[in-house]
């Protein structure tokens, strides 16, 4: 049987205590299967439906590796829409609140690029946003991924539906080859396997069926 106790995970006391204070007592099925792989540094393809707790599965992974004493971007989360990016940012801020001085910056289309560029000048540890806008910042030099260790594609099936495959590949070209790449999707169409082949190394694939 899978252990669903967060304390079974290789996480520091700060993150564990914060989970308790948030009222997260048991891992959901995708977390129980995914977190041991994520925390071991593996590339993962995770398929689970909406509301299954995917954000925490990648969130604890990237936060456990974050070094806030450095002033560079260590994690990037790509999302299909601003609404979804905002949801991810909110959840990550909750998970990160026990860690001092984590700088998370949202970079989505529809907001003025200049204001985002000004914000980026103060530094960022985590960037969350949509592929097109991320690419714009990378191309104009206002964002660097030289220190990136974790790349997350959230709702990858929807990003493909929205025609973001090319932008995603262009964004990833700016990232170091040595990194962890986590791909989350509610469904597993052919395009996901193809995207994974281009971005991931020996990914572990996990799927959690809906409970009825």
**Residue with smaller CB distance to ligand ADP, 116 or 185:** 185
Three-state DSSP at 50 gives coil
Q: Is 50 in the site for ligand ADP (CB under 6 A)?
A: yes
Residue of the chain from 18, 47, 52, 196 that contacts ligand ADP (CB under 6 A)? 52
Question: Could you write out the DSSP letters of every residue in 116-173?
Answer: HHHHHTT--SEEEE-HHHHHHHHHHTS---TT--EEEETTHHHHHHTT-HHHHHHHHT
The tokens describing 132, both together, are 């097109």
CB neighbour burial string for 140-175, b if at least 16 within 10 angstroms, e if fewer = eebbebeebbbbbbbbbbbbbeeebbebbeebbebb
Name the residue with the smallest CB distance to Mg ion: 54
Interaction of residue 33 with ligand ADP, rule CB under 6 A = no
Q: Name, in order, each residue with C-beta under 8 angstroms of 103's C-beta and a sequence gap of 6 or more.
A: 68, 122, 123, 124, 125, 126
**CA 196 to centroid of chain Cα atoms:** 15
Report the residue number whose CB is nearest to ligand ADP: 55
Q: Pick from 9, 15, 27, 143: which binds ligand ADP (CB under 6 A)? A: 27
- By CB under 6 A, residue 106 contacts ligand ADP: no
How many Å apart are CA 192 and CA 183, to the nearest integer? 9
Backbone angles phi and psi of 198, in degrees to 5: -80, -20
CB of 139 to ligand ADP, least distance (A): 29
Q: Tell me: does residue 129 bind ligand ADP (CB under 6 A).
A: no
Binding partner of residue 97 among Mg ion, ligand ADP, none, CB cut-off 5 to 8 Å per kind: none
Smallest separation, CB 54 to Mg ion (Å): 5
- 110 near ligand ADP (CB under 6 A): no
Where in 27-56 is the site for Mg ion (CB under 5 A)?
54
Q: Choose the one of Mg ion, ligand ADP, none that binds residue 149, judging by a C-beta under 5 to 8 angstroms depending on kind.
A: none
Q: Which residues bind Mg ion (CB under 5 A)?
A: 54
Q: Which residues bind ligand ADP (CB under 6 A)?
A: 24, 26-28, 31, 48, 50-56, 91
């Amino acid at each position: 049987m899978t252990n669903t106790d967060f304390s079974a995970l290789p996480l520091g006391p700060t993150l564990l205590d914060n989970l308790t204070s948030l009222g997260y007592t048991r891992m959901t099925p995708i977390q129980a299967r995914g977190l041991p792989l994520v925390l071991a540094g593996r590339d993962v393809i995770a398929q689970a439906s909406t509301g299954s707790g995917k954000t925490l599965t990648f969130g604890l992974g990237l936060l456990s590796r974050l070094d806030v004493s450095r002033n560079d971007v260590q994690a990037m989360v790509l999302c299909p829409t601003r609404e979804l990016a905002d949801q991810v940012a909110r959840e990550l801020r909750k998970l990160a609140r026990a860690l001092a001085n984590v700088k998370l910056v949202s970079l989505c289309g529809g907001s003025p690029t200049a204001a985002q560029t000004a914000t980026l000048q103060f530094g960022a540890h985590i960037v969350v946003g949509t592929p097109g806008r991320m690419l714009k910042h990378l191309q104009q030099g206002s964002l660097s991924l030289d220190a990136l260790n974790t790349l997350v594609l959230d709702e990858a099936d929807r990003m493909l539906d929205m025609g973001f495959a090319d932008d995603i590949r262009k964004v990833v070209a700016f990232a170091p080859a040595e990194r962890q790449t986590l791909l989350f999707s509610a469904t597993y169409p052919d395009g996901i396997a193809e995207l994974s082949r281009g971005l991931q190394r020996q990914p572990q694939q996990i799927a959690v069926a809906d409970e009825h």
